[in-house]
Amino acid sequence: MAGKMSAESLQAFEHKIGYRFSDKDLLVHALSHTSYTNEHELPKTQSNERLEFLGDAVVDMIVSDYLYKNYRDLPEGMLTKLRAAVVCESSFAELAAAMGFGDYILLGRGEEATGGRSRASVLADSFEAVTAAIYLDGGIGQAAGWITERLKAPIRLAASGKAAKDYKTTLQEMVQKGSSGRVSYQVTNEQGPDHAKVFTVEVSIDDVKMAQGRGTSKKDAEQAAASAAIKQIVKKNTNK
C-alpha cells in the first residue's frame, strides 16, 4: 500500500465517486501524490504517477469510443476538437474538485502548505489515477461507465459550442430559457492561510441550492459551482 488511509475515509471517498473497490490498495495508490511518497521515503513507483500514465490512455480511449458511437455525423477533425475540450487538465480538475478529491489526496506537508489540495494539476492527475485504478479493479466496462457518466454533460456542452470558458454565463443563459432566472452565489467556507486560501461557493437558482464548487479564488470557486450546476441541469433534462 502506498500510503495510509482509514477505512472510514476510504468508504467516504468511494461513496463520493460512486464506485466501490474490491482492491482498496489500488485506491490508496491512486490517491498517493509524489510529495507524500517522497516525504515518507517510499519507492517512487508507489506514487500515483504510473496510474496517472495509464489513466490518461484509458480516458482517451473511452472518450474516443463514446464520441465515435454517439456523434456519427461529425468528421474526424470535429471529433478531435470535442475530445480535446473535455480530455484536459481543467476538465479533470473541475470534476475532481466537485467530487471532493482534495479532501482525500495523500500529500506531503510542503505540498499541502502551498495549496496542493486545490491545485488543478494535482486534482487532474489524481482523477486520471483513480480512473486507472477503477479500470484495473473492475475492468474496462466499469471504467467506461464511470467516465462517460461524468463526461457526458461536458461533451454535450462542447458539442453545442459552449465548451469550457465561462460557466457562469452559460448557466445564466440556460436558466433564463426556463421559467425563472435568478442565479446567486454565496461563499460558504474559506480554508487555508492567506497565501493559499481555498474557497467554497454555493450556487442557487431562485433561492434553491443547486451545487457547490471550490477554487483558490472566489471567482474560480463560482465558476466551479456553475459548472457543477450545469452538469446537474443537463443530466436532469436528459433523464426526462
Please report the beta strands in the chain, taking only residues with DSSP state E, as ranges in sequence order: 183-191, 198-205, 208-215
Distance CA 42, CA 160 (A): 46
Query: What are the backbone angles phi and psi of residue 153, rounded to the nearest 5°?
Result: -65, -50
Residue-wise DSSP of 8-62:
HHHHHHHHHHT---S-HHHHHHHTB-HHHHHHTT--GGGSTHHHHHHHHHHHHHH
Under DSSP, the state recorded for 185 is E
Q: Is 23 a catalytic residue?
A: no
Residue where the block lists cell 471517498: 13
Which residue out of 94, 111, 112, 128 is catalytically annotated? 128
Which residue out of 56, 125, 202, 222 is catalytically annotated? 56
Q: Is 128 a catalytic residue?
A: yes
Residue-wise DSSP of 186-227:
EEEEEES-GGG-EEEEEEEETTEEEEEEEESSHHHHHHHHHH
Catalytic residues: 56, 128
